[in-house]
Amino acid sequence: MARIFITGSSTGLGLMTGIELARRGHSVVLHARNGDRARDVSAALPQAESVVVGDLETIAGSVAVAGDVNALGRFDAVIHNAAIYSGGQRTTADGLRALFAVNVLAPYVLTSLVRPPDRLIYLSSGMHLGANANLDDLQWQRRAWSDSTAYSESKLHVMLLAFAVARLWSAVKANAVDPGWVPTRMGGPNATDDLREGFATQVELAAPAVHSPFVEATGEYFHHMRLRDPHPQSRDSALQDELLALCARTSGIEFPVPAVRHRQQ
């Protein structure tokens, strides 16, 4: 039995992933932004081990969530599922665009602070293929805001983070997943992809069967259980390091040196 923590799992693909993992006998810890959502998700999946509550829109909120997760003990896998699309141009209490704060900085902070699991899964999007990293304007200070472009960029940034972790943390299997355009609250009723396929890959990466090809996968990009070619920029180690440095400077939290961290465990 594996223990898995899933961010942004009070609804949608995150909750569906948790339900399927629990159905397979794994221990699942869910995450909700506030108490009301936590009560709803507890009712939706009463067999969940726990529900961590915290708003990933702020740095302090992400740090608190990381602390609560660590207090529960080590996990075999963490799925970074939380994300927003519309309304991301809002300015958070930290003075950041909300979309960047939730989609990019929060997984960076959690990755840096949560005790490293065996497996990390980051939800990206096929929309990242049409983006440019634009690391010199993460907060859209020089450009007119576009929901779709900003979202696409954030998902390319998630790819950079996932592949940086895979490159730098040899003891962790880190991968990115495009769940497709599925009819969740974010995807909307007109989405054309199969809902079950939207969470199947995350389930297999988080808790693969013994002889599954997913066991050794790391630094890869998947869509509906199959390998896909990611945006070439996502493989650029210099861009990966630049994003890590920008996130460290923004959050005040350094990305840990993995070899040292794992030897200390």
What does R_g of the chain's alpha carbons equal in angstroms? Answer: 17
Q: What is the DSSP string of the chain?
A: --EEEESS-SSHHHHHHHHHHHHTT-EEEEEESSHHHHHHHHHH-TT-SEEEE--TTSHHHHHHHHHHHHHT---SEEEE-----TTTTSB-TTSSBHHHIIIIIHHHHHHHHSPP-SEEEEE--GGGGG----GGGTT-SSS---HHHHHHHHHHHHHHHHHHHHHH-TTSEEEEEE--S-SSTTT-TT--S-TTHHHHHHHHHHS--TT-TTSS--S-EEETTEE-PPPGGGG-HHHHHHHHHHHHHHHS-PPP-HHHHHHH-
> Distance between CA 259 and CA 203 in Å, rounded?
27
CB atoms within 10 A of CB 254: 12
> Distance between CA 251 and CA 172 in Å, rounded?
23
Catalytic residue IDs: 151, 155
